[in-house]
Structure 1
Amino acid sequence: MLATGLLLVAAMLVLNGYVTNVAGETQAVPLAVDNPSPDLERARRGGPVLNLTGGKPASARLPARTVALTFDDGPDPEWTPQVLDVLRRHDAKATFFLVGSKVAQYPELARRIVSEGHEIGNHTYTHADLAAVPAWRLRLELSLTQRALAGATGLHTTLMRPPYSSTPNTITVPQWDSLRTAADQGYLVTLTDLDTKDWSHPGTDKIASAALPERGRGAIVMMHDAGGNRRQTVEALDRALRELTARDYRAVTVTDALGMPSAHQKAGDGEQFAGALFSFAQRTSGWFAIALSWVLFAAGALTLARLAFFAVLAMVHAHRTRGGRRRKGRAPDWPAPPPVTVIVPAYNEEAGIQATVRSLVTTSYPGVVEVLVVDDGSSDRTAELAAALGYRNVRVITKPNGGKPSALNVGIAQASHEILIMVDGDTVFEPATIGHLVRQLADPAIGAVSGNTKVGNRRGMIGRWQHIEYVIGFNLDRRAFELLDCMATVPGAIGAFRRSALVALGGVSTDTLAEDTDLTMALCRAGWRVVYEEKALAWTEAPTTLGQLWKQRYRWCYGTLQAMWKHRGALVERAPFGRRCLGYLTMFQVVLPLLAPVVDLMAAYSTAVGDPLPVVAVWAGFVAVQAMTGWYALRLDGERVSALWVLPLQQFVYRQLMYLVVIQSVATALLGVRLRWHTINRQGTFNSSGTSVGELSVPASR
């Protein structure tokens, strides 16, 4: 699905780029050493209408007192109608050499030209210099124009005028070769006797004077009805026609002037349909390119605004919490440390379960701490290793496998205390973490507290990328979410809750694969406040391979989509939580990631067909803004800012992986596929590496 979508987008971009001369742009070929053949010499001395289909070139001139007014580069929605109006007032006929892409864009103008008795000719599809393109491109330019004419007017034409041409005596050797190739396609090449050079805007008087033949001679006159401001051309045309009438000239089409059959040939029904379809595709590509440009501009602006806004909110949050100011409605501290139950749901966590339990038991929290390890039908030694530690305040509960939510519900039911802390089986706590979490719950309005999750195994590139993401994308955001009262997720790795609040909600729901997001949204909708505690540190083991990372984020993203859909009713509730939280998630976690592949495609396309410097400059600007935000987030979290060196590299693998996960999750949800729980293979970072929790602690300077 993604490949098909990107292929369609690329096709529309290429088509629009080709039409607008962004892709395949040509310019007039500079003059080379002139070494003309005898045929070219003969053509230079001949008339403006060339028949090159025979063995020797033949040319023709117009009879006396006859003028064929010709207009190049149209049709144009502003100037072509004015030219046609002038011609109609003077009862004159003309020949219009039309650019195929403009015919496709303005088919009604092409139809008007034909309906008013004028003649049409082929002026290539993109106004390409035929002397500068290979033979296949030349044939394509002429063929596409015929197709556009067939779709718009139902006609083909036998007349052709190459762009950047003038009188016969100006034909260069490269141009001559291209004219011969065009003649092989059955075209009658039409140049000019009088080139008004109106494209240079010399003034109305000079254009009108240049359009008048001398001493009663016949002439083909070249003018333009598109390609810029043609006010002077329109005025000069009116003046020239009055003068031609006074001189007893007749203004007719090229073929009428030469007494030839009409250049128009009826196109077949299939050709007309194909031409109309191609013209519609061109117009659609143009609309798509414009719309896409605005969408990408809006996406970029929103992304930058989000970074700036969240950085400011994080600054405010840090000032309030570190400056001693109380949170909104915060009650006094606990009169005595309340007892706490820590629930550890575990499935095949033998690699890290002992380190997790040790960190919970060796806490500096002065109150009673009960630890419940709920083994969810593990097939390894998780329960055995947890029980082997022999701590009195640790109880191991075994149950058949039912998923993490069911394990948490068993722990909630078995808990002895009102304050509950939930922690994953691959996570270790700092000694002071439990105390920091419990401190926030002294406020009776707070139902849950999100801790500060950090990546413990950050030595490899994938670990470093996740470390940056956790600090910038998770912990920095949660500061802003608290101030906006729209916390979306208390992470399963570290969170504190009121047991009574969870019981009132019916426990942890099994409806989604993101039980932490689902639970947090339910708490917020029930009127509880959810806050963030930066000092409550938990070190988690992140996936170490791209495959494992994909599985984890796929489940997270799919589960978040499930939770958003489940709680969509919050959008119409009186409290602002739904509109803020779901609106934010929809825009920045769904819509913008879905556009990310198109951004990359646009960048690659722009680099390939144009100047790469603007693309590089925009990319560097975004990275710089992210780096500044990351610098502040790392400083705020007491981390080394040297970790930012991986940020530019993150744009080429990690970023693509994250948006592909979103695309797959959205596709899975739309197709109605039920995703199963994906388990992650643990490496035992905190057991096997010999690294202690203290060695991973945030520097004291924080």
Structure 2
Amino acid sequence: MASRTNRRTARKTRRTGGSTAARRRRLPLRHLLPLLLLLALAAMLMLRGYVHSEILADHRIRPETTADHVPEKILEGGPVIDTRGPKATTLDVPDHRIVLTFDDGPDPTWTPKVLDVLRKHHAHGVFFITGTMASRHPDLVRRMAAEGHEIGLHTFNHPDLSLQTRKRIDWELSQNQMALAGAVGIRSSLFRPPYSSTASALDDHTWPVTRYVGSRGYITVLTTDDSEDWRKPGVQEIVHNSTPKNGKGAIVLMHDSGGDRHQTVQALDRLLPELKQRGYRFQNLTEALDAPSAHTEVTGPDLWKGKAWVFLVGASDTITDVLVVGLAVIGFLVLARFGLMLLLSGIHVRRTRRKGFTWGPDAPVTEPVSVLVPAYNEAKCIENTVRSLMRSEHPIEVLVIDDGSADGTARIVEDLDLPNVRVVRQLNAGKPAALNRGIANARHDLIVMMDGDTVFEPATVRELVQPFADPRVGAVAGNAKVGNKDTLIGAWQHIEYVMGFNLDRRLYDVLRCMPTIPGAVGAFRRSALDRVGGMSDDTLAEDTDITMAIHRDGWRVVYAEKARAWTEAPESVQQLWSQRYRWSYGTMQAIWKHRRALVERGPSGRFGRVGLPLVALFMIVAPLLAPLFDVFLFYGLVFGPTGKTIAAWFGVLGIQAACAAYAFVLDRERLTPLISLPLQQLLYRQLMYVVLLQSWITALTGGRLRWQKLRRKGQVAAPPGETPASRQAGKQAVDQGAAR
């Protein structure tokens, strides 16, 4: 006796996923992983957007101001300003020495060309790099140092420091140094402020910045000659602007980033040999001043912090590139799916709605049907469900299989004392076992399956079994509809059911690869069920599993749009999460279970090479990638281009709205719920994404997911439009079934 009790306890533990304490240990991590992945993805995108901020040329119109507080010796002094000590000093570059300086880089297109020209003419220069560009292209910074050039700071993301606080200035400098350390393992004491020019241009706004950066250990390097290459005035003009007068030394301003720099490269290739012939030497700043190098080696935590930063920036670029590919893939899938939906659903409608259409030579189907209603704790819903069946216009018997309910579900049905309604009781064993028990007890060869919270219209069973007039049909999918669509979550699911499910079923019907007979409304031949071994508990999506098995056995599976059933959709986010988590994970299990169909021959191979890829693409890959539209919407709103981003997002939304409207028209539904479509795309889609991501994590980590009973309110009733005539027809059908 004790052994039998232990076995029952073990079975119960397996069904429920283990003890409560064990679930507390397992579930939190699995629930947190999708959130952590989303946060990591958001962080990577924010990092990528930040380091890809646009760098403008060193030119802007400054407001008029005075230079009353700038020392005269600074205004009239040299371009190198040292404010590190108590007294500010300036230095000039000696005659016949030129320090070529390049701002705003490194740029992956133009910096290598500039470096090639300098190497060709054996010249050195100073590159004032921005932290954003150095973080993205550390290999170019390493090349600068390896080829003997000097590197200075030009802030992290190029703000006008005269408009910033000291805290922001410190941040710009430290981040710039961190990027330099991560790229090449050095620090630099050279600094050039963005939008700067000559020493004579210093004023009461910029001089305090110069003094402050000196107190932080930096030498400010301004210019004597501006090539004005940012204006693209022509190669000859750039050469002219960069040539010192009367053999004097100079610090020449050029750019290796910030736009098209082909004129700069061409001018540089002409300038270097011309001035070398006139006795000029092109040197680093410290070489020209005969001073110690401005570079010092970085070690310890600062070095590793810089390397980590450069690695993360590179990872963010890689991730973004992958996401862009994913966005292209999902864009193609969405358009392909919508195109197939519109084309094939139109074919399906024209075929099934044409005058005189019949499903097969044995139409109409009038033989009685067994309706199986598996029920577990459905006390709130079961009476509505059974009474809706009693109004059926087709002869039926009803079997309610009570799967160990603890709320009196079976007793409620028995107390109704309805004709042709039987209750079969069993210990709790799960829905597949309950359905198999019902199949074994069913009297008829056509079997309809429904959920215990679903309500049928009087014509549902009749319409559902008409496709069996074709002897090749083994199963039929009905038209499941949301009965409680008066809430926002209900309305979103209503859109999903009408557009995402029923349009898909029309598509799959035409392609002969229907992946799922909905548990809420489906019909089967007993012979088809017997040949595939009945309902299986190998997966959590027994409806998908049995449908795929029937396809592989050579039967046709079709969609009967007029066989409408009204089901109670989850009304809370938690309940919706639980339901879709099970669906997603169960679908993955079913695909994996039937994976051999990909390489088999005959009907199984046809389904495997057509149905399985479509299910994987449209039900797993596409929903997983769909939120990329919203991710890039947010990215574009923050980092630009805002207008194009909004236009693209609304363009995709417009396509979805058109398809949704088409689906609603086909199903003869009111279009009012589509008002909430934009909000559904922003919120509901993200929830489905996280659910699917969690399902992937569960599958990849080998986790097990238990069945979860959804709480029902029993508020779904027969839709309006029922008449006394239909009730009488239902009664006659019941009587006919009893007679048979």
TM-score (norm 1): 0.91
Equivalent residue, structure 1, for 2:18: none
| Displacement after TM superposition at 1:278 (Å) | 2.2
Contact 1:122–1:145 (CA under 8 A) maintained in structure 2: yes
Confirm or deny: 8 A CA contact 1:27 1:128 kept in the other structure: no
Cα shift at 1:487: 0.6
* 1:426 aligned onto 2:453: yes
Structure-1 residue corresponding to 2:20: none
Residue of 505, 519, 527 corresponding to 1:478:
505
What is the letter of the counterpart of residue 603 of structure 1? L
Equivalent residue for 1:582? 612
Aligned twin of 1:357: 386
For 2:107 and 2:198, the matched residues in 1 are separated by: 24
Please name the residue that 1:261 is paired with.
Answer: 292
Aligned residue among 246, 250, 254 for 1:223: 254
- Give 3-state SS (helix, strand or coil) of 1:651's partner: helix
Q: Which residue number corresponds to residue 634 of structure 2?
A: 604
- Give how far 1:598 is off: 4.9
Partner residue, 2:722: 694
Deviation at 1:538, TM superposition (A): 1.6
State the SS of the aligned residue for 1:488: coil
Q: CA RMSD in A?
A: 2.8
- In 1, the alpha carbon distance for the partners of 2:652 and 2:171 equals 40
How far apart are the structure 1 equivalents of 2:288 and 2:702? 69
> 1:419 Cα shift?
1.0
For 2:258 and 2:631, locate their aligned partners in 1 and report how far apart those are by CA, in whole Å: 30
Q: Which letter does structure 1 place at the counterpart of 2:680?
A: Q
Q: Distance in 2 between matches of 1:17 and 1:478?
A: 41
**1:284 matched to which residue of 2?**
315
Alignment check: 8 A CA contact 1:340 1:419 kept: yes
User: After superposition, where does 1:658-677 map in structure 2 within 5 Å?
Assistant: 658-677=688-707
Aligned residue identity for 1:348:
N
Note the alpha carbon deviations across 1:283-324, whole angstroms, 9 max, x for none. 222232233223223313322331232122111100000114
Secondary structure, in 3 states, of the residue corresponding to 2:233? coil
Q: Distance in 2 between matches of 1:335 and 1:258?
A: 101
- Name the counterpart of 1:510: 537
Please state how far the C-alpha of 1:81 moved relative to its aligned partner.
4.1
The 5 Å alignment of 1:305-320 reads 305-320=336-351
2:383 pairs with 1:331: no
Alignment of 1:436-585 (within 5 A): 436-574=463-601, 575-585=605-615
Whether the 8 Å contact between 1:159 and 1:189 is mirrored in structure 2 is yes
Do the aligned residues in 1 keep the contact of 2:51 with 2:135 (CA within 8 Å)? Answer: no
Equivalent residue number for residue 344 of structure 1: 373
Is the CA contact (8 Å cut-off) linking 1:344 and 1:422 kept in structure 2? Answer: yes
Structure 2 length normalisation: TM-score? 0.87
Q: Which amino acid aligns with 2:324?
A: S
Q: State the alpha-carbon separation in 2 of the partners of residues 449 and 611 from structure 1.
A: 49
Query: What secondary structure, in the 3-state scheme, does the structure 1 residue paired with 2:50 have?
Result: helix
- Would you say the 8 A contact 1:39–1:56 is kept in 2? no
Q: How far off its partner does 1:166 sit?
A: 1.4
CA distance in 2, matches of 1:185, 1:479: 70
Judging changes above 3 Å, is the alpha-carbon distance between structure 1 residues 269 and 461 closer, same or farther for their aligned structure 2 residues? closer
Q: Which one of the candidate residues 147, 159, 168 is aligned to 1:137?
A: 168
Residues 1:200 and 2:226 are matched in the alignment: no
Structure 1 residues 229, 498: CA separation in 2 closer, same or farther (over 3 Å shift)?
same
Q: Conserved in 2, the CA contact under 8 Å of 1:122 and 1:161?
A: yes
What is aligned with 1:374? Answer: 401
Shift in CA distance, 105/334, structure 1 to aligned 2, threshold 3 Å? closer
User: Is the Cα contact below 8 Å between 1:28 and 1:132 reproduced in 2?
Assistant: no
Do 1:374 and 1:399's aligned partners in 2 also have CA atoms closer than 8 Å? yes
- Counterpart position of 1:5: 37
Contact 1:429 1:693 in 2 (8 A): no
1:333 partner SS: coil
In the TM superposition, residue 532 of structure 1 has moved relative to its aligned partner by: 0.5
Deviations 1:242-292 (A, max 9, x none): 343343333322222222222222222554443333223222222322332
Higher deviation after alignment, 601-610 or 209-218: 601-610
2:738 aligns to what? none
* CA distance in 2 between partners of 1:487 and 1:203 (Å): 66
Matched length: 691
CA distance in 2, matches of 1:419, 1:568: 29
Residue 179 of structure 2: aligned partner: 148
Query: Is 1:167 aligned to residue 198 of structure 2?
Result: yes
How much does 1:661 deviate? Answer: 2.2
Contact 1:482-1:530 at 8 Å conserved across structures = yes
**How has the CA–CA distance of structure 1 residues 252 and 396 changed in structure 2, closer, same or farther, with 3 Å as cutoff?**
closer
Q: C-alpha displacement at 1:450, in angstroms?
A: 0.9
What is the CA-CA distance between 1:34 and the residue it aligns to?
Answer: 0.9
Q: In the alignment, is the contact (CA less than 8 A) between 2:70 and 2:203 conserved in 1?
A: no
Shift in CA distance, 80/460, structure 1 to aligned 2, threshold 3 Å: closer
Distance across 2 between alignment mates of 1:413 and 1:319: 38
Q: Using the alignment, how far apart are the partners of 1:58 and 1:247 within structure 2?
A: 30
Does the 8 Å contact 1:18/1:25 carry over to 2? no
Deviation at 1:129, TM superposition (A): 3.2
Contact 1:313-1:479 at 8 Å conserved across structures: yes
Query: CA distance change for structure 1 residues 466 and 136 in 2, over 3 Å: closer, same or farther?
Result: same
Partner SS for 1:448 = strand
Contact 2:58 2:196 (8 Å CA) reproduced: no
Amino acid paired to 1:19: V
On the 8 A contact 2:239/2:270 being kept in 1, the answer is yes
Matched letter for residue 559 of structure 1: G
Distance 2:491 2:715 in 1: 15
Q: CA-to-partner distance for each residue in 1:406-445, whole Å, 9 max, x for gaps?
A: 1111111111121111122222222222222222101111
- Cα 1:214–1:608 shift into 2, 3 Å: closer
Aligned to 2:492, the other structure's residue is in SS state: helix
Q: Give, in whole Å, the separation in 1 of the partners of 2:707 and 2:174.
A: 56
In structure 1, the partner of 2:12 is none
More displaced stretch, 33-42 vs 55-64: 33-42
Larger RCO (alpha carbons 8 Å, 6+ apart): 2
Pairwise mapping of residues 170-185 of structure 1 onto structure 2 (< 5 A)?
170-185=201-216
1:158 paired residue number:
189
Q: Report the CA distance shift for 1:376/1:179 in structure 2 as closer, same or farther (over 3 A).
A: same
Q: 2:244 aligns with which of 194, 198, 213?
A: 213
Please say if residues 157 and 263 of structure 1, whose CA atoms lie closer than 8 Å, have aligned partners that are also in contact. Answer: yes
Moved more, 274-283 or 479-488: 274-283
- 1:617 corresponds to which residue? 647
Residue 5 to residue 125, structure 1, CA distance change in 2 (3 Å): same
In 1, are the aligned partners of 2:78 and 2:90 still within 8 Å (CA)?
yes
Distance 1:116 1:612, change over 3 A: closer
SS at 1:677 equivalent: coil
Matched, 1:630 2:660: yes
Indicate the SS of the match to 1:576: helix
Q: Deviations over 1:116-161 (max 9, x none)?
A: 3332222233344333443333323322333333333333222111
Contact 2:630 2:682 in 1 (8 A): no
Secondary structure of the residue that 1:173 maps to in structure 2? coil
Structure 2, unaligned stretches of length 5 or more? 1-32, 727-740
